[in-house]
């Protein structure tokens, strides 16, 4: 019998009724296709050739559904057979390794998605380049896997978009990331690099953007709009409960958007080092910042290995949509941001 991870958040974060979920996703996809333009003006009404790296949020579908539909609308599923899912750990902290699922299947209300147990077994054999640790990959416990939502919130969209493709629903490789130093980043990138060239291998980053408010321990604020490079060199203010925002300064929710869009612009440049600098300088609470860093470095290594030079105006990450759970206007408010995007290879 298969060892199946239950859809532990179905019935709370999203409906566990397959007919209702199908109708909900169809509505999200209809809206995504009717809008059909990215933030930079590209047509996103359907699959985009070579779009096999995706990024989307992992909140309840009431908050993240529209962004996830935008992400999965552009997905080029023509050759996909395997999906590496990179997500941040929300409930436990660990370091010196990343964790893999030991389940055979992931349950969704539509049906089960197979886990690529063969690839996981191969990854478990990968040795670290660092003398401070041995294995790069370890199994996550059943409890950690069941509690984590970063993969589960993408699973119904993966199933829905691939249920009718000729090669069948792709196998997934859930990779959970927590504490990560430079050496572990290098180990993970080296392990995944051989898979990038194969068109059957796709990558999905599960990430929300800024978690703003005292409940998240992050109240950084920009009074005026700045470009991404200026943000890297200017100090940010942390708001307190009694801080008064001047009438001619940015509302808090607009300041949050400036911070997020600066992160998105930097990811678009493809610079791993600039991404690290941005996170270090702003402290922006992008929960998938480490998976994003892994993909940025992975793409750099892939291009270097193939002798591909990046043109000055070439974007790596393309961004489709952006939203916030609510508009923060006072220091006592809080919000979470969501973005949809993709990379073509």
Mean pLDDT of 197-213: 97
pTM: 0.95
The CATH number assigned to the domain holding 171 equals 3.40.830.10
| Residue 315: per-residue pLDDT | 73
Q: Domain of 73?
A: 4-211+286-344
Q: How confident is the model at residue 230 (pLDDT cuts 50, 70, 90)?
A: confident
Residue 309 has pLDDT above 80, yes or no: no
Residue 65 has pLDDT above 90, yes or no: yes
Could you tell me if residue 335 is inside a domain?
yes
Choice between 232 and 91, residue whose per-residue pLDDT is larger: 91
| Residue 322: per-residue pLDDT | 97
| Residue 307: per-residue pLDDT | 78
Could you tell me if residue 244 is inside a domain?
no
Choice between 311 and 194, residue whose per-residue pLDDT is larger: 194
Could you tell me if residue 237 is inside a domain?
no
| Residue 132: per-residue pLDDT | 61
| Residue 42: per-residue pLDDT | 77
Mean pLDDT of 150-160: 98
Could you tell me if residue 220 is inside a domain?
no
Q: What is the pLDDT of residues 68-95, one digit of tens each?
A: 999 999 999 999 999 999 999 999 999 9
Q: How confident is the model at residue 41 (pLDDT cuts 50, 70, 90)?
A: confident
Could you tell me if residue 243 is inside a domain?
no
Q: How confident is the model at residue 306 (pLDDT cuts 50, 70, 90)?
A: confident
Mean pLDDT of 271-290: 96
| Residue 134: per-residue pLDDT | 77
Mean pLDDT of 253-278: 95
| Residue 314: per-residue pLDDT | 64
Whole-angstrom distance, CA of residue 95 vs CA of residue 208: 21
Could you tell me if residue 274 is inside a domain?
no
What is the number of structural domains in the chain?
A: 1
Could you tell me if residue 193 is inside a domain?
yes
Could you tell me if residue 226 is inside a domain?
no
Choice between 65 and 133, residue whose per-residue pLDDT is larger: 65
Q: What is the pLDDT of residues 129-151, one digit of tens each?
A: 876 667 899 999 999 999 999 99
Residue 313 has pLDDT above 70, yes or no: no
């Amino acid at each position: 019998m298969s060892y199946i991870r239950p859809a532990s958040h179905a019935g709370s974060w999203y409906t566990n009724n397959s007919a209702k979920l199908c109708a909900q996703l169809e509505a999200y996809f209809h809206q995504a296709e009717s809008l059909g333009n990215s933030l930079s003006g590209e047509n996103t009404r359907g699959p985009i050739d070579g779009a096999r790296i995706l990024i989307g949020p992992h909140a309840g579908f009431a908050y993240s559904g529209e962004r996830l539909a935008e992400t999965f609308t552009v997905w080029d599923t023509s050759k996909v057979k395997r999906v590496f899912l990179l997500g941040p750990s929300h409930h436990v902290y660990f370091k010196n390794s990343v964790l893999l699922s030991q389940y055979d299947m992931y349950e969704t209300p539509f049906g089960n998605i197979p886990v690529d147990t063969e690839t996981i077994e191969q990854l478990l054999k990968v040795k670290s380049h660092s003398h401070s640790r041995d294995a790069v990959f370890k199994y996550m416990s059943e409890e950690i896997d069941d509690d984590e939502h970063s993969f589960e919130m993408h699973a119904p969209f993966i199933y829905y978009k691939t249920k009718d493709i000729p090669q069948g629903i792709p196998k997934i490789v859930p990779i959970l990331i927590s504490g990560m130093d430079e050496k572990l980043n290098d180990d993970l990138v080296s392990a995944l690099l051989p898979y990038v060239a194969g068109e059957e291998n796709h990558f999905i980053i599960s990430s929300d953007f800024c978690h703003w408010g005292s409940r998240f321990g992050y109240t950084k604020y920009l009074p005026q709009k700045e470009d991404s490079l200026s943000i890297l060199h200017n100090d940010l203010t942390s708001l307190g409960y009694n801080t008064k925002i001047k009438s001619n300064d940015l509302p808090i929710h607009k300041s949050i958007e400036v911070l997020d869009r600066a992160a998105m612009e930097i990811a678009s440049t493809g610079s791993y080092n600039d991404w690290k600098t941005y996170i270090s300088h702003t402290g922006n609470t992008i929960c998938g910042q480490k998976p994003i860093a892994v993909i940025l470095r992975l793409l750099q290594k892939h291009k270097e290995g193939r002798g591909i030079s990046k043109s000055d105006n070439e974007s790596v990450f393309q961004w489709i949509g952006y939203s916030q759970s609510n508009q923060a206007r006072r220091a006592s408010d809080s919000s979470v941001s969501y973005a949809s995007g993709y990379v073509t290879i």
